[in-house]
Chain A
Amino acid sequence: MSARAKVVLRVWIALLALLAATTALAFAPLGSATLFVSLAIAAAKALLVLMIFMELKASSGLVRAFAAAGFFWLAILFALTMADYSHRRDVPAPIDPPAQASIRG
């Protein structure tokens, strides 16, 4: 087995182990920490794919910067969107019309 094949095999095993861990932990009584645990494991899986399968580990700084740019803009998109939604309250402003339509069935 070539050196690259060994690396790919190890990463594949690690990815499946992380998948098993995240699925098992989703049923554990972790309360609201569940979301952060599952997202942290997803980030670890994504990092393995990015660095090894997508070869960013062996790429030049310029290629890595291009790859990071997408994530940088995504972080802005998330920060500004969530800054809005997480500060909204379910209280109508005086200017809002009474009896708001609701999608709750």
Chain B
Amino acid sequence: MAERAPTFQFATLSQQREADALGMWAFLATELLFFGALIAGYFAYRVTYGDEFIAAARHTKVVLGTANTAVLLTSSACMAMAVHSTEQRARGSAALWFALTALLGLAFIAIKGFEYFEEYREQLVPALNFAVGRYGGVTQLFFIFYFVATGLHALHLTIGVAMIATLAVLAASDRLPSSQPVRMIGLYWHFVDMVWIFLFPLIYLAGRNG
């Protein structure tokens, strides 16, 4: 099956492709500054509170965080294969790769949820049950950052899972969209992965050798 003709406002398909990519990257730039400001906040805390802030990171679950990073990196590879299969109009393998990507996204959220539950049990959740007397105020500040950053990341991931699960259903029921929207959703998914690539060392690996 050939790709569709360009929509009416574009002269050629390649012009439409470039316009799509430019618009998507402009949106991702706003997302980059959104998460970037959060991470700048992290470094401001780190500079202000020093070793006390870094040591707070030792309360995070490094095994779960590392496993989740592997899950997310793998899901990105699966999404790259899904985009490739869509370009080849290989409907069956596209459906499979979409499903695998969405399932890995769900696995990430499940592991994250378990992690949040463990942190609740250890009284590490600010505004719910944080034990300031036991952990101290700087650790509380770290965990405020932790829950805001990972929560916003998980929200982005949930939106991505919903879109990719929809693509899996469309591909499986013989309504595979053209490769352009699929590639844009791919860009979004890889971006969310990239945010995690930076959150992971800052949250889970800080203070491990202290």
* A78/B140 in contact, CB under 8 A: no
Contact B22 A63 (CB under 8 A): yes
Please give me the residue from chain B that is nearest to A55 by CB atom.
B183
Which residues of chain A from 63 to 101 have any CB-CB distance to chain B below 8 Å in the complex?
Answer: 63, 66-67, 69-71, 73-74, 77-78, 81-82, 85-86, 88
State whether B193 touches A82 (Cβ < 8 A).
Answer: no
Contact A105 B132 (CB under 8 A): yes
Where chain A touches its partner, the secondary structure class is helix
Interface size on B, residues (CB 8 A): 56
Contact (Cβ within 8 A) B84 A2 = yes
Tell me the complex Cα distance, A39–B203, Å.
12
A86 to B48, CA, bound (A): 8
A52 to B76, CA, bound (A): 11
Q: Is B44 close to A, CB under 8 A?
A: yes
Confirm or deny: B208 has a beta carbon within 8 angstroms of a beta carbon on chain A: yes
- Is A52 within 8 A of B80, CB to CB? yes
Find A49's partner among B69, B135, B197 (CB 8 Å cutoff). B197
**Which interface class (under 10, 10 to 19, 20 to 34, 35 or more) fits A?**
35 or more
> Assuming the A-B contacts A12-B74, A29-B209, are A74 and B36 also in contact, with contact meaning beta carbons closer than 8 angstroms in the complex?
yes
- Cβ-defined contact, B22 with A70, below 8 A: no
Nearest to B44 among chain A residues (CB) is: A85
User: Are the CB atoms of B197 and A42 closer together than 8 Å?
Assistant: yes
- Asked if A62 and B18 make an inter-chain contact with CB atoms under 8 angstroms apart, the answer reads yes
User: Nearest chain A CB to B21's CB is how many angstroms away?
Assistant: 5
- B81 engages A5 (CB within 8 Å): yes
Residue B162 is within 8 A (CB to CB) of chain A in the complex: no
Q: Which B-chain residue is minimally distant from A27 (CB atoms)?
A: B208
Tell me the chain A residues, 21-42 only, with Cβ under 8 Å from chain B: 22-23, 26-31, 34-35, 38-39, 41-42
Q: Are B22 and A62 in contact (CB under 8 A)?
A: yes
Instruction: Let me know if A19 and B73 touch, CB within 8 A.
Output: yes
**In the complex, what distance in Å separates the CA atom of A54 from the CA atom of B189?**
9
- By a beta-carbon cutoff of 8 Å, the part of chain A in contact with chain B is 2, 4-5, 8-9, 11-12, 15-16, 19, 22-23, 26-31, 34-35, 38-39, 41-42, 45-46, 49-50, 52-55, 59-60, 62-63, 66-67, 69-71, 73-74, 77-78, 81-82, 85-86, 88, 102-105
A-B contact pairs, 30 of them (CB 8 A): A2-B84, A5-B81, A8-B80, A11-B77, A16-B70, A26-B208, A41-B201, A42-B198, A45-B73, A50-B190, A52-B80, A54-B186, A54-B191, A59-B21, A66-B21, A69-B26, A70-B25, A70-B32, A71-B32, A77-B33, A77-B36, A77-B40, A81-B43, A82-B40, A82-B44, A103-B137, A103-B138, A105-B133, A105-B135, A105-B140
Q: A34-B209, A70-B31 are in contact. List 14 more A-B contacts (CB 8 A).
A: A11-B80, A15-B77, A16-B73, A34-B208, A39-B201, A41-B201, A42-B198, A49-B193, A53-B186, A59-B21, A70-B25, A81-B40, A86-B47, A105-B136
